[in-house]
Structure 1
Amino acid sequence: MALPARAGKPDSVLAKAVELARSVVLEVAEPTDLGDHLGARAEGERVVTHHFSCTRPGYPGWYWSVTLTRAKRGKDLTVNEVVLLPGDEAIVAPDWVPYKERLQPGDLSPGDLLPVEDEDARLVPTYLVGDDPIDTPLDGDARAQVRRVAEDLGLGRVRTLSREGLDMAAERWHAGPGGPEAPLAKSAPDTCWSCGFLVRLNGSLSMSFGVCANGNANDDGRVVTVDHGCGAHSEVKLARKQQPLPLPDHVHDTVVDDELEPL
């Protein structure tokens, strides 16, 4: 087990107090949870921490840590703390991530709500700036006025994508399964640029992205890059060796009622 590095030479009196440190651990743990002494290290002047392996089931890689100290020229030892700590190979819970950051595409169920913050850099007021980002952020009163005017005029969307929002979407789509690096695209006979099933997007993304409208394709209804591709390209042709073999004629036609000639 990799323990913290030494911080200087430990106090000799405290370093020898292994049994005292062991007895302190036994006050909070069962004897079967305490393993071998792993060593001692100096935390500071007359402050030493002893480490013991942990044998408690379910805690591989953890260790007991007992910190002792004493006064200058004092003989009485004082226990600062005793804790159970994870080592480098210990099984620990993953770092906590806020719920909003843990959400992935497809996680929302019917009825779930995911509010967007007012200061979200991906959005800007629609009727003031159109599709262009604004230089100075609006205060609370201005944002409320934008909402009221947009509702009164029937403009529909209060906010629209900012330049940052467009760039983030473009990067995500380009790196996703509809991008040029997808395994499906690398084995495709041609790109979506020349496919008749590609429906181009409007605006600044029109030259780079579109939506697949081929019901037989894996990407049907999804955003794809123009340099993406798949085997369902509108102009793809089968080679002669890839075409199905023609079926032979029927030995006996069972569709009509022609009588068989007697032998």
Structure 2
Amino acid sequence: MRTLARAKADSAVVNAIDVARAALLEDVDTADVGEHLGHEIEGERLVTHLFACERRGYAGWRWSVTVTRASRQKAVTVDEIVLVPGAEAIVAPSWVPYRERIKPGDLSPGDLLPVDDDDPRLVPTYSFGDDPLDQDAKAQVRHVARDLGLGRSRTLSPEGRELAAQRWYEGTGGPSAPIAQSAPDKCTTCGFLMRLNGPLAELFGVCANGDANDDGRVVSLDHGCGAHSEVRLAKKHEPQPLPEPLVDDLASDNYEGF
């Protein structure tokens, strides 16, 4: 196996700081160019000189000037000049596709969010074997499912169910929610808890307390809130009874003839 030797620093291009700065100032205002920050060896007789960028709004950015020297030539020439971010530069975040940026609550009335045919969260309602289905076969699955009265051509897969369970458990209806941390008891002992059927029945239920923040929402059995069905106030916190009303017997309307 052939190993390429590491490029050696060429003194002519390494010392060509003034050449690099002069070329930079032809395109950039003097006030935007700061001190020389060093150089990087790109290859044989190829060096990039870095200068601080003083332009407003570009803190941490650097001017990059790449210079080179042809073989057996003394003159140094400039290859390119670019503005590059440094380690502390403020840069735009990495691009995230629109589909992955959508969060619960982002959809407005009339918005459509189609699900891919190969979404791992969904599987055909009944098994069609392990062979992958092409587009025509997928259409047949949906058609046959409707003919058999199954209602849905696809249903939640084990992976989709696990993702939902993790999302619910770590969300506002799980045990780590602030309201659950200060609750007097757990949802599992609350009379307002409606049990679920299926694989998630041992972990989750639905809150049916109209006075609770989680009314109509999925909650974990170890979630909780102050609206628990068995909550009782301490006597010192109970409403104090009103005193007996007083009747003024000396009022003039209590005497006839006056």
| Global fold match (TM > 0.5) | yes
Structure 1 window deviating more from structure 2 (168-177 vs 141-150): it is: 141-150
**Percent sequence identity over aligned pairs:** 63
Q: Distance in 1 between matches of 2:216 and 2:129?
A: 32
Which amino acid is 2:159 matched to? E
* Equivalent residue number for residue 214 of structure 1: 209
Residue deviations 1:192-230 (CA, integer Å, cap 9, x gap) = 111111111111111111110111111111100111111
Once the 2 structures are TM-superposed, how far is the Cα of residue 252 of structure 1 from its aligned partner?
5.4
SS in structure 1 opposite 2:79?
Answer: strand
Aligned equivalents of 2:247, 2:158: Cα separation in 1? 70
Whole-angstrom distance in 1 between the partners of 2:130 and 2:148: 24
Superposition CA RMSD, Å: 2.2
Given that residues 10 and 40 in structure 1 are in contact (C-alpha distance below 8 angstroms), is that contact kept between their aligned partners in structure 2?
A: no
> Shift in Å at residue 141 of structure 1?
2.1
Provide TM-score, normalisation by structure 1: 0.87
* Corresponding position of 2:223: 228
Give matches, 1:62-211, under 5 Å.
Answer: 62-126=61-125, 128-129=126-127, 135-211=130-206
Matched residue SS, 2:115: coil
With over 3 angstroms needed to count, the CA separation of the structure-2 counterparts of 1:174 and 1:39, relative to structure 1, is: same
**Alignment gaps of 5+ in structure 1:** 1-6
Task: Decide whether the 8 Å contact of 2:62 with 2:84 is kept in 1.
Answer: yes
Task: Give the aligned residue type for 1:52.
Answer: F
Alpha-carbon offset, residue 151 of structure 1: 3.2
Given that 2:7 and 2:44 are in contact with CA atoms closer than 8 Å, whether structure 1 keeps it comes out as no
**What letter corresponds to residue 92 of structure 1 in structure 2?**
V
Indicate the residue corresponding to 1:54 in structure 2.
53
Q: 1:70-102, CA deviations, whole angstroms, 9 ceiling, x for partnerless residues?
A: 123311212221110011111111100000100
Tell me how many residue pairs correspond in the alignment.
Answer: 248
* Deviation string, structure 1 residues 129-187 (Cα, Å, up to 9, x no partner): 4xxx9744322222110112233444322110011111111111111111111121121
Higher mean displacement: 142-151 or 50-59 = 142-151
What's the secondary structure of 2:139's corresponding residue?
helix
Range with bigger deviation, 49-58 or 243-252: 243-252
Distance in 1 between the 2:9 and 2:41 partners?
Answer: 4
Q: Shift of the alpha carbon at 1:247?
A: 2.5
Are the counterparts in 2 of residues 10 and 41 from structure 1 also a CA contact under 8 Å? no
The answer for the alignment partner of 1:40 in structure 2 is: 39
Task: Give 1:260 shift.
Answer: 4.4
Relative to the length of structure 2, the TM-score reads 0.89
Question: Which whole-Å deviations, capped at 9, do the CAs of 1:17-41 have from their partners, x for residues lacking one?
Answer: 1121112212332222111111223
| Counterpart code for 1:46 | R
Partner SS for 1:203: coil
